[in-house]
Chain A
Amino acid sequence: KNEVEQSPQNLTAQEGEFITINCSYSVGISALHWLQQHPGGGIVSLFMLSSGKKKHGRLIATINIQEKHSSLHITASHPRDSAVYICAAILTNTDKLIFGTGTRLQVFP
């Protein structure tokens, strides 16, 4: 069992739908990153959070440290949101990141 698990692995949506991607982890962490990876490999950091909730445009990330769970939400999804979304947990007392396997999102017009 991976230390960081994401669900779903694949997700398709119609433009405008509300999207939720989940990340759960079984290890102690100090913080968690949400990353976006487009075809061709480029990875962009969306959020880094250690508690509560962060919002940037149509993206919202939440984390519950006690429940070892984080979610990434996309409101009013758009085809340009199509990408792989990866959560990466920072292990406590290290700077080592453990990555989830990613959620492949496709948003159709």
Chain B
Amino acid sequence: DTGVSQDPRHKITKRGQNVTFRCDPISEHNRLYWYRQTLGQGPEFLTYFQNEAQLEKSRLLSDRFSAERPKGSFSTLEIQRTEQGDSAMYLCASSRDRANEKLFFGSGTQLSVL
């Protein structure tokens, strides 16, 4: 399978715990995007990378959120001290270079904070 893969598919955690999600983009895709989607809403932009450089970060992301793409391949999104409002589907997408090329999405990580 050469698509975008995300791990885990589902994560249930208690409020206050830290969680980390992983995204493996399509190989040779330089751009990697993180989005968040809540029920009944369209996805919201969180952040994106060009290779290992984080180019933009949404104001939606508080200091509890951090994302990395250390070697320009896979990326991790960490949420510290989770809150119930963090419950959402976290989506990863990749493209070859720019957003005006075809985007490929992973299946997402569904986070539930109890």
Residues of A participating in the B interface, judged by any CB pair closer than 8 Å: 4, 30-31, 33, 35, 40-45, 48, 50, 86, 88, 90, 94-102
Contact = CB atoms under 8 A, between A and B. Distances in A.
A45 B110 contact: no
B98 A45 contact: no
> In which size bucket is the chain B interface?
20 to 34
Contacts, number: 66
A101 B99 contact: no
Contacts of B108: 41-42
Contacts of A96: 45, 48, 56, 99
Interface in B70-114: 89, 91, 93, 98-105, 107-108, 110
- The 6 A-B pairs with the shortest beta carbon distances in the complex, nearest first, are A99-B42, A95-B99, A43-B105, A31-B100, A41-B108, A101-B42
Contacts of B45: 96-99
A95 B48 contact: yes
Contacts of A94: 56
Interface in B29-54: 31, 33, 35, 37, 40-45, 48
Contact of A97 (B41, B55, B99): B99
Of listed B31, B42, B105, residue having the most chain A CB within 10 A: B42
Given A96-B48, A96-B56, A99-B44, A41 B91 contact: yes
Contacts of A102: 41-42
